[in-house]
Every structure is written in C-alpha cells, then in structure tokens.
Chain A
Amino acid sequence: EPEVTQTPSHQVTQMGQEVILRCVPISNHLYFYWYRQILGQKVEFLVSFYNNEISEKSEIFDDQFSVERPDGSNFTLKIRSTKLEDSAMYFCASNGGGLTYNEQFFGPGTRLTVL
C-alpha cells in the first residue's frame, strides 16, 4: 500500500543551525502538508502546498520556514535558524484531491531536537 515516507527519523541540531526535513508523498497525490506536534500537545498545521506554491500557512510558519518540491517526488521543509522551541515531531502529509475530500495521509514523522 502506498505510504508517505520521511527522512531522517531523528535529527539533532544546535540552536541557530539550518535543518532540512525531507518527505516523499504518495506518488499520485497533489496536495502536500507539513504539521508539527510538540511533545504532549496537539498536532498543529504549518503549511499546505499545491501546484508548486504555498496555498495556506499558519502563523507558526514564519520567515524562518520554507518549503520546496525540488523534483517530482520530494517535498522538503527547511528551518533556517532553529530555535529551542522548534523541537517537535514534524509530520508530512499528502492528499490526492478530487473526490477524496480532505483525507490526509501522514508520514511517520521526523523528531527534531534543538539543543
């Protein structure tokens, strides 16, 4: 069964460093998302991406964040200068669009630890 994959599974970085989190969405999906979940808290929306551009972003998704689809398969989230409070699980999700309503399929996540 097709699934969303994410790499790395764990990332430890120093405050102020740049990190890139990578995702491979389900192959025929058109809509892509990033969410984060701080330990013990709700899953929170960061950004949605369609047709090679951001379609919606939350107030969390400030200028330190960017997304890119560099080729036909990968979808990346970059944090330019990490802060301690960026420590969280980051989930990529994808949606086939059309009649699938808003069914979003999530990847296994990347645990980001900022020291």
Chain B
Amino acid sequence: TQLLEQSPQFLSIQEGENLTVYCNSSSVFSSLQWYRQEPGEGPVLLVTVVTGGEVKKLKRLTFQFGDARKDSSLHITAAQPGDTGLYLCAGDGQGGSEKLVFGKGTKLTVNP
C-alpha cells in the first residue's frame, strides 16, 4: 500500500517568515502533485514534479522532488496571510495506476 506522510500536520507562523513542508514515502512515484485546498472546496493544482531532483518555482513557492522520487518538499518564502490553507501532496499509483494517492496535508496558518 502506498502511503504519503506529510509533515508537519499543522503550522502556524507570522507573516514574512519562511517555511518548509514535507511529503515522504517509501514508494517511488512517477510524478507527484502539490495541491492547495480551502475549506469546503476542491483541491487546486499548484505544480507537478516528474524528474528526480527537479526544482520548480511558482512565485514565492519552491517545490523539489527528491532524487529517488520518493519525497518532495514545498518551501514558501516570506509567507503572507493569503498563503493560509491546506497543502496536499499526491502521487500517482504504481504499476500504471491512474489513481492519485493523497497525503493528509499540512494545515498552514499565516498570521498578519
């Protein structure tokens, strides 16, 4: 069974601080997605990483895929209150499976 463990589960920081959240697994993924979810809404795709060691930037967000394609991180620089939300990582199922396997998420709160 594939599992994605996200840490920390909760994170509360002040505006302007930097933070990193992690997504770890013992399984290898062909690709891994990061989503952001607001309460009562659907996950919104932020980025897809595919190549081991890949780094992608989306404004103040930096996503990295581990060399072995088993883990990923999301780093936010100078966090703003608008970054508040639930950040989910999701990996594709193994053996050609199309399903996405989700982590439980990191609930980020950025205080003004």
Contacts and interface: CB of A to CB of B under 8 A. Distances in A.
Contacts of A48: 98-99
Contacts of A65: none
Among B33, B99, B101, residue most surrounded by chain A Cβ atoms (within 10 Å): B99
Contacts of A111: 40
Interface string B39-67: 01111110010100000000000000000
A70 B43 CA distance: 26
Contacts of A58: 99
A33 B101 CA distance: 13
Given A91-B42, A106-B43, A43 B99 contact: no
A26 B30 CA distance: 24
Contacts of B105: 42
Contacts of A42: 102-105
A101 B8 CA distance: 28
Given A48-B98, A101-B30, A104-B100, A43 B45 contact: no
Interface of A: 4, 6, 31, 33, 35, 41-45, 48, 50, 55-56, 58, 89, 91, 95, 101-109, 111
Interface of B: 30-31, 33, 35, 40-45, 48, 50, 88, 90, 92-93, 97-105
